[in-house]
Amino acid sequence: MPDIPLQSTYELGETASRLIDDLSRISADEDKLTRLYLTPEHRKAADLVGEWMRQAGLEVTEDSLGTVRGRLSSPSTANSKKRLLIGSHIDTVIDGGKFDGSLGVICAILAAREIRKRGMELPFDIDVLAFGDEEGVRFPTTLLSSSALAGTVPPGELDACDSDGISVAAALREFGGDPENIGGIKEDPDKVIGYLEVHIEQGPVLENEELPIGIVTSLAGAERHWITVQGEAGHAGTVPMDIRRDALSVAADLIGAIEVAAKSAKRDSVVATIGSLEVSPGAVNVIPAEVKMTLDLRAAREEPRAAAIEAIKAEAARISEKRGCRIEFDQFHEVKTSPCAQVFQDAAERAIASMNIRPHRLMSGAGHDGQAMKALTEIGMLFVRCRNGISHNPAEHVSVEDMGVAVEAMVRWVAEIAQEGAGA
């Protein structure tokens, strides 16, 4: 594969930057970026992305849940009709950054455009996908549009309502979708080669490695628990320290134990976060009677995550017996680890090395549409360096140079997959 002059890569980055800026102007708020699923802003963004796909020479359609699809057909696929899916999402969090999700969609469009311009013959079609419910902000749903392609949308999911009482089904009809046709969205796994995605890292690893791009090994599995510590209220001035059943002190012991458990398993990328804590009764002169807190636990593989929660629960039992406070765990969320296909990782490594960039592999601690697509097909993912690791924040930033590298890496990644004979 020939070397690409730096200026050509930079020009790709300039184009990506311009499109990012154009898309970021579509927001529900004048002074910040908010673009939620099935809102008028999502409608405008979907229409704009569809127009960019047409300009890139793609055949554009939109499915019943609002996913925009641009197809680049290859003459060599007349009989096989197999497809390589590439995409990301165009919804945002409230007051979010302009690169999260959107960069992946724009990189996919520009990569497809480059493949067409360069006359690259592929043994498969390319479908560029712009999903709409990755963030899960407006409705109590997440990954709805990508889950529909995988055929894994739970029954009754379209009945979920937003804070104004509007259901997903009603919002879909207003958007122009068809909630009655959700079953017709499912892809045939025999016709899909895999799903690829470019996404900002949302962390500091690549910046610390001084690398513009990296290869994702897996999307972390995660589980979430409510932890309740039940103690006994008492007067802050009259109950001696050694006979107190202080729920907050016990919770502090447990939080320390949770941190130790995660740090001892850092080789398996185990991370644990206590993100919310409620103290009752919450008075300055009353010993806390109850603490409720959340635990978010993630890991690169299932076994270390399972071992970590068992270690945490065992330590909780020990603390409970020693301190005389009851500790209960109530799990309310779990998503399995989604490993990226080795063949896609290896193809990405060859593509990145061909650009004279040191290949580096890393885990994704955040969730992505790939976790839903994993139920349909094998997945692959590239991360792009994000300044200071900041995301879900207006300060989110990717350089023009790194965006250009990401587009070119995607082109070469697809070429490497094609050379492996996928879809033939």
Over the stretch 216-245, which tens digit does the pLDDT of each residue have? 999 988 899 999 999 999 999 999 999 999
Please tell me the predicted confidence (pLDDT) of residue 78: 58
Q: Does residue 5 register a pLDDT over 90?
A: no
Give burial (CB, 10 Å; 0-12/13-18/19+) of 178. Answer: middle
Q: Which amino acid is at 208?
A: N
Omega within 30 of 0 (cis) for the link into 281: yes
Please tell me the predicted confidence (pLDDT) of residue 227: 98
Q: H helices within 264-301, ranges in order? A: none
Give burial (CB, 10 Å; 0-12/13-18/19+) of 357. Answer: middle
Please tell me the predicted confidence (pLDDT) of residue 76: 66
Q: pLDDT-based confidence at 2, cuts 50/70/90?
A: very low
Q: What's the Cα-to-Cα distance from 22 to each of 17, 106, 108, rounded to whole Å?
A: 9, 11, 16
- Mean pLDDT within 393-419: 96
- Rounded to two decimals, what is the model's pTM? 0.84
Q: Which amino acid is at 55?
A: Q
Q: Give the helix/strand (H/E) hosting 261.
A: helix 247-263
Q: H helices within 100-143, ranges in order? A: 102-117
* CB-based contact 114:156 (threshold 8 Å): no
- Mean pLDDT within 262-275: 92
Q: Does residue 359 register a pLDDT over 70?
A: yes
Please tell me the predicted confidence (pLDDT) of residue 81: 78
